[in-house]
Amino acid sequence: MSPSLVLWLFSLIFTLAGAAIGTAGYREVRKNDHLLRKGMTAQGVVTRLAPMQLEGQSEASLTLRSTGTTVYRPVIAWTTADDRPMETTSNVGRPRDKTLRVGSRVEVRYDPADPSRWTLPAQGSGLWWAGVATGALFVVLGLGSCAGALYVQGV
C-alpha cells in the first residue's frame, strides 16, 4: 500500500469519525441549552440505579481505574405540569460512589410538548462539550493528513 493511499484512508476515517462525534456532541449541547432556557421545571427523585456493564471490544472488559466494569445510571421519577407521571433513566453512567444516590431529589428540565426530551441541569454539558472538542480534534487530524497526502502526491 502506497504512503499516499494510507494517508488518504487515515484522512477519510479521522475526518468522518470526527464529524460524527462532534455533530452528536453538539446536538446534545444544543438540546440541553434549549431545555435549560425554555424547558419546564419539575422536581424528581432518584428511585433506583440501573447498572450497565461496560464491555471492551476484545475478551478483556473495559475497566475504569479501580471501579470495575459496572457503571450506574440514575432512574428518576417525576411528574409533568399536566400531572403525567414520568420515569426516565439518565444516559450518563458513573461508578456507584460518583452517581446520585437513591432518594436524592433532583431538578428536571423537560420539553412540555415532548417530556421524553429532558435533562438534569446539575449535570451540565461538560461531557458533551468534550465530545465536540474530540470531534474537532479528529477533523483537524484528518484534514492535516489530507494535506499530507496531497503533499506526498505532489512530490
Q: What is the pLDDT of residues 36-95, one digit of tens each?
A: 889 999 999 999 999 988 765 454 444 445 456 889 999 999 999 999 999 999 988 888
pLDDT at 57: 46
User: Does the pTM of the predicted model rise above 0.75?
Assistant: no
Q: What is the pLDDT of residue 93?
A: 85
Closest CA to 65 of 98, 87, 28: 98
C-alpha cell recorded at residue 79? 411528574
Q: Where are the alpha helices (DSSP H) in 3-154?
A: 3-38, 126-154
**pLDDT confidence band for 19 (50 / 70 / 90):** very high
Per-residue pLDDT at 2: 67
User: Which of residues 114 and 151 earns the better pLDDT score?
Assistant: 114
Higher pLDDT, 141 or 1: 141
Model pLDDT, residue 55: 67
Q: How far apart are CA 138 and CA 144, in angstroms?
A: 10
